[in-house]
């Protein structure tokens, strides 16, 4: 398994990145200060938040090395990524397209993605219930509902039913999420609001989902899967359906858990958000810095992987899961097994 | 592996100054500068072979000296620092 390398996040407005030998040189807008360089060797990808310029030589070098460059909006919405030529096996991609076209193969994979998500949601809620005070019973009730949804997802006969089960589970899960945010944190969760998020908690969730999505997308590419052909999510131009399928199981266990920790430990507070014209809310520059630091530390944390039977860092789980998906499509595994906590 | 690279390149001649720039640039591609001619490098065994080879090509054996110390894992994290020195995030987030 590859070593977990670093990701460079650049968010300072007006900064620019240049290639300097085998290093990336960072020019900050104030111009002063010591020369800042980082060895490209230690960077797995470069993530640019907002308008950051990257020199053409650096871009071509990253493309050659297969190092992804990802552009995100300052709010953490994924904009685009630049990657080298599509790697991997054409037979694998062909198998993926055939699986997508065949409902008999497609439905079980979609079911597994939804089941993984609901199971991880349930674990997040159960953990919340252990720590909760007066909302303990309500949370336990929602966990029981999610258990029913899990059974319903396993029995779903077609994709529409499955989508319905997922939607219902997500609604009760987000009710639970609202209860798990401590009252003294100064933030509250009115339910999931996106495009654009209009409160702090939703802004934080959207930002974290953006980060998860870009890492899952990269993992699909690395394994040689086509990120745009999914099983649960339908295909549409420009929609990375497979990345969206695979990230379902990571949303609760990685993004939501981290968001709850940050809020409840007051590492992120109401001051870390700013309101834009039109009502959209996004993280401030300091807030983003806190979240990205926590995210990178979270990626290093290891957890036992139920299928591999050994400990795997959070940051590498998307790679493991993409590989399991590839093996399922090649019919080396009987079915896709989601990552559950 | 974690390496501490220190170098001394004679800069009395223009060629010496050029060698110094080359060594510095090479080190920037492998690690992070902690002092004027001291770098902390975290790399794989293969990278170390490449780095060592590149050093040998650049330096003048008569005038220059390079010392590379192989450190225990975690040494860069536990380093004692005084004054302006800062710990460098070799494995942590790089947020700018």
CB contact under 8 A, B93 and A3: no
Q: Assess whether A126 and A150 both reside in one domain.
A: yes
- Counting the structural domains of chain A, the total is 2
Measure Cα distances from B73 to A1, A15, A35, A73 in Å: 19, 33, 27, 37
Q: Quick one: average pLDDT of B1-27?
A: 89
Residue A336 lies in a domain: no
Query: A327: which 2 tokens?
Result: 């093996």
- pLDDT tens digits for range A61-103: 988 887 888 887 776 666 777 877 665 577 888 888 888 888 8
Q: Is B54 on the interface with A (CB under 8 A)?
A: no
Q: Is pLDDT at B6 greater than 90 in this prediction? A: yes
Q: Is A39 on the interface with B (CB under 8 A)?
A: yes
CATH number at residue A147: 1.20.120.920
Q: Is pLDDT at A135 greater than 50 in this prediction? A: yes
Q: Assess whether A66 and A111 both reside in one domain.
A: no
In whole angstroms, give the CA distance from residue A253 to residue A306. Answer: 14
Query: Cα distance from A210 to chain B (closest Cα, Å)?
Result: 16
Residue numbers of the domain that contains B48: 2-72
Q: Assess whether A94 and A71 both reside in one domain.
A: no
| A-B Cβ pairs (cutoff 8 Å, strict) | 70
Residue A70 host element (H or E):
strand A68-72
Q: Is B50 on the interface with A (CB under 8 A)?
A: no
Q: Assess whether A143 and A272 both reside in one domain.
A: yes
In whole angstroms, give the CA distance from residue B85 to residue A63. Answer: 35
DSSP H helical ranges for A102-240 = 103-131, 136-155, 159-180, 200-223
Q: Assess whether A54 and A176 both reside in one domain.
A: no
In whole angstroms, give the CA distance from residue B73 to residue B90. Answer: 12
A166 assigned to a ligand binding site: yes
Q: Is pLDDT at A2 greater than 50 in this prediction? A: no
In whole angstroms, give the CA distance from residue B55 to residue A234. Answer: 54
Q: Write down the number of H helices and E strands in chain A.
A: 11, 12
CB contact under 8 A, B95 and A300: no
Q: Quick one: average pLDDT of A222-227?
A: 78
Contact A66, A195 (CB under 8 A): no
Q: Which of B28, B90, B95 has the CB atom closest to A21's CB atom?
A: B28
Backbone angles phi, psi at A197, to 5 degrees: -65, 140
Residue A237 lies in a domain: yes
CATH number at residue B52: 3.30.70.240
Pairing between β-strand A53-54 and β-strand A16-20 as defined by DSSP bridges: parallel
Binning pLDDT at 50, 70 and 90, where does residue B7 land?
Answer: very high
Set of chain B residues whose Cβ sits within 8 Å of the Cβ of A45: none
Q: Assess whether A64 and A121 both reside in one domain.
A: no
Q: Quick one: average pLDDT of A192-209?
A: 84
Return the percentage of chain B with pLDDT > 70, whole number.
Answer: 92
Q: Is B42 on the interface with A (CB under 8 A)?
A: yes
Lowest mean per-residue pLDDT among A277-281, A304-308, B86-90: B86-90
**Across all residues in chain A, what is the average pLDDT?**
82
Q: Assess whether A207 and A278 both reside in one domain.
A: yes
Measured from the Cβ of residue A104, the count of other Cβ atoms closer than 10 Å reads 7
Set of chain A residues whose Cβ sits within 8 Å of the Cβ of B39: none
In whole angstroms, give the CA distance from residue A184 to residue B30. Answer: 46
Query: A116: which 2 tokens?
Result: 């993984």
Last residue of a domain, one of A36, A54, A82: A82
Q: Quick one: average pLDDT of A108-112?
A: 87
Residue A149 host element (H or E):
helix A136-155
pLDDT of residue A303: 83
Q: Is A40 on the interface with B (CB under 8 A)?
A: yes
Tell me A234's DSSP state: P
Q: Higher-confidence residue: B48 or A269? A: B48
Pairing between β-strand A68-72 and β-strand A53-54 as defined by DSSP bridges: unpaired
pLDDT of residue A282: 82
Q: Quick one: average pLDDT of A147-169?
A: 84
Q: Is pLDDT at B90 greater than 80 in this prediction? A: no
Q: Is A290 on the interface with B (CB under 8 A)?
A: no
Query: A122: which 2 tokens?
Result: 């349930």
Residue B96 lies in a domain: no
pLDDT of residue B92: 58
Candidates A160, A164, A129; CA nearest to A143 is A129
Set of chain B residues whose Cβ sits within 8 Å of the Cβ of A7: 93-94
Residue B18 lies in a domain: yes
Residue of B nearest to A27 (CA): B96
Query: A142: which 2 tokens?
Result: 């929602």
Query: Cα distance from B12 to chain A (closest Cα, Å)?
Result: 24
Set of chain A residues whose Cβ sits within 8 Å of the Cβ of B91: 6, 300
Query: A120: which 2 tokens?
Result: 């991880």
Q: Assess whether A211 and A235 both reside in one domain.
A: yes
Q: Is B87 on the interface with A (CB under 8 A)?
A: no
ipTM of the complex: 0.78
Q: Assess whether A50 and A99 both reside in one domain.
A: no
Q: Is pLDDT at B5 greater than 90 in this prediction? A: yes
Q: Is B88 on the interface with A (CB under 8 A)?
A: no
Tell me A314's DSSP state: G
Residue numbers of the domain that contains A76: 6-82
In whole angstroms, give the CA distance from residue A85 to residue A87. Answer: 6
Q: Is pLDDT at A1 greater than 60 in this prediction? A: no
3-state helix, strand and coil shares in percent for chain B, rounded to the nearest 5: 30, 25, 45
In whole angstroms, give the CA distance from residue A167 to residue A169. Answer: 5
Residue A339 lies in a domain: no
């Amino acid at each position: 398994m590859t070593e977990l390398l670093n990701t460079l996040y650049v968010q300072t407005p007006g900064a620019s990145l240049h290639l300097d030998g085998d290093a990336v040189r960072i020019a900050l807008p104030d111009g002063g200060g010591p020369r800042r360089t980082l060895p490209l060797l230690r960077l797995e990808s470069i993530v640019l938040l907002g308008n950051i310029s990257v020199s053409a030589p650096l871009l071509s070098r990253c493309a050659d090395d297969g190092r992804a460059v990802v552009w995100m909006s300052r709010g953490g919405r994924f904009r685009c990524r630049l990657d080298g030529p599509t790697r991997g096996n054409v037979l694998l991609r062909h198998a993926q397209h055939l699986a997508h076209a065949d409902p008999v193969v497609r439905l079980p994979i979609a079911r597994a993605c939804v089941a993984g998500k609901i199971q991880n949601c349930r674990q997040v809620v159960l953990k919340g219930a252990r720590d909760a005070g007066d909302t303990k019973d309500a949370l336990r009730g929602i966990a029981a509902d999610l258990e029913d949804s899990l059974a319903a997802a396993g029995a779903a006969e077609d994709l529409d039913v499955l989508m319905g089960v997922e939607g219902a589970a997500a609604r009760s899960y987000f009710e639970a999420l609202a209860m798990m945010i401590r009252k003294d944190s100064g933030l509250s969760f009115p339910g999931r609001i996106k495009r654009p998020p209009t409160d702090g908690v939703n802004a934080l969730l959207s930002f974290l989902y953006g980060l998860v999505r870009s890492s899952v997308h990269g993992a699909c590419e690395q394994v040689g899967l086509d990120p745009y052909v999914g099983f649960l999510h339908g295909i549409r131009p420009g929609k990375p359906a497979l990345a969206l399928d695979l990230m379902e199981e990571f949303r609760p266990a990685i993004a939501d858990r981290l968001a709850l920790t940050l809020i409840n430990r007051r590492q992120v507070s109401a001051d870390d958000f700013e309101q834009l014209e039109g009502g959209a809310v996004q993280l401030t520059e300091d807030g983003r810095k806190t979240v990205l630091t926590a995210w990178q530390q979270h990626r290093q944390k290891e957890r036992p992987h139920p299928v591999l039977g050994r400990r795997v860092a959070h940051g590498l789980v998307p790679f493991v899961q993409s590989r399991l998906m590839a093996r399922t499509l090649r019919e080396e595994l009987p079915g896709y097994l989601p990552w559950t906590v | 592996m974690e390496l501490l690279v220190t170098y001394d390149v004679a800069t009395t001649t223009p060629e010496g100054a050029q060698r110094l720039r080359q060594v510095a640039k090479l080190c920037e591609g492998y690690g992070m500068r902690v002092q004027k001619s001291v770098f902390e490098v975290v790399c794989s065994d293969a990278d170390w072979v490449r780095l060592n080879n590149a050093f040998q090509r650049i330096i003048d054996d008569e005038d220059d000296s390079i010392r590379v110390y192989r450190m225990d894992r975690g040494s860069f994290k536990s380093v004692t620092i005084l004054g302006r020195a800062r710990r460098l995030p070799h494995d942590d987030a790089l947020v700018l």
